[in-house]
Amino acid sequence: MSAPRATVSDRVARAALSRLGEPGDLRLTRLVRELGAVELFDLLAGEKDLAGIYSDVAGRLRALDPQRELDDAAARGIRFVCPGDEEWPSALDDLHAAEPVQGRGGVPVGLWVKGPLSLREATGCAAAVVGSRSATTYGAEVASEIGAQLAGNRVCVVSGAAFGIDQAAHRGALAARGPTIAVLACGVDRAYPSGHKNLLDYIADVGLLVSELPPGCAPTKLRFLSRNRVIAALARGTVVVEAAVRSGALNTANWTTRLHRVLMGVPGPVTSAPSEGVHDLIRRGDAALVTRGADVLELLAPVGSFLVPEARGPERSHDRLTDRERQVLDAVPVSVAVSIGSVARTAGVAEREAAAALRRLTVRGLVESHDGRWRLARRE
């Protein structure tokens, strides 16, 4: 087995490395960057123990056949996208410079992808919508509404296909017939969670399933953490809807901050435990408060291209009065008409000014006079 192999292509080497290593293993992602995937793979195939990687992967190396794996995957509609490919989203390259979280980080060696969208095009403008699995119906409703509003504006909704907020966000996007990407912590051929088989199948038909892990791999706790960095890196910004203080969604939020992307949070009732983590992000100034799709669009779209109209109450007839006119208006009685002198005294203005103000108020239909005495106009 130790005979030097015929050098494989970069793509095959990356496919092999994605099978050998754990996603987000810093040693591996750094060495790929320094040596190149082909070189690193050749060294490992030559049983060279770089940074202890060889001892870790020896077991997996024995059964490895990357070319066949790529062919098998292709036969099942799964493609392998790696740096240099036309479909590779450059947004992922930012991961190189981002500070690792819990010993995980770096640019993925490649991504296994299933679905009709182009990964690069879909992530041209994408927003991650993530949150707790133990969410409330409030969170789910908000997440699917935001998902629908984003996707309706052709912003791709990226999430993790988990129970709770994730699935609500995907379904909102699907309902709006818009793009959505599910980033998984297992092979894209696996239905996890199994209750979401229909959802995953549907996304594979109209959106994209994406994973750092090759087909067949099972999800583990650490793989979820590595997966979160891909979600954050594929999106321009991340919206956190309901995350309790120890939720995995906060890990995605952390990655968003380290990637210098836009972090957003949807508030809930202040007494609600599932919103506590989000409230914390907002309170510390890490996340911007958003309440609907338009808020998210304003933060993600190029500056000034999408502005949310300022919230304002309905206009009232009093809004356009000057301070002095209001002062006079306040002095006019409701039912019993009084003289100008009385209005002026009550208002504390000169009689001439009161007379002028009353004329203007009459024009606006706010006061009426009977035989030189004034009162408020009756409303119908």
Binding site for other proteins (CB under 8 A): 133-141, 144-145, 147-148, 163-164, 171-172, 174-177, 195, 198-199, 202, 269, 274, 311
Coil, strand or helix: which one is 307? Answer: coil
Helix (H) or strand (E) holding 159: strand 156-159
How far apart are CB 297 and other proteins at their closest, in Å? 16
**Rounded least distance, CB 36 to other proteins, Å:** 43
Look up residue 140 and give its two tokens.
């789910």
How far is residue 125's CA from residue 155's CA, in Å, rounded to a whole number?
Answer: 5
> Nearer to other proteins by C-beta: 116 or 269?
269
What span, in angstroms and rounded, lies between the C-alpha atoms of 318 and 305? 34
| C-beta of 62 vs 312, nearer to other proteins | 312
> What is the nearest approach in angstroms of other proteins to the Cβ of residue 152?
8
How near is the Cβ of 284 to other proteins at its closest, in Å? 25
Q: Which is nearer to other proteins, 115 or 172 (CB)?
A: 172
Return the number of the residue (195 or 365) whose C-beta is nearest other proteins: 195
Give the residue with the Cβ less far from other proteins, 315 or 323: 315
213, two tokens: 């892990």
- Burial readout 277-294 (b: 16 or more C-beta within 10 A, e: otherwise): bbbbbbeeebbbebeebb
Rg of the chain, C-alpha, whole Å: 31
Smallest distance, other proteins to C-beta of residue 127, A: 16
Rounded alpha-carbon distances, angstroms, from residue 193 to 22, 161, 354:
20, 8, 74
Cα–Cα dist 31/36, whole Å: 7
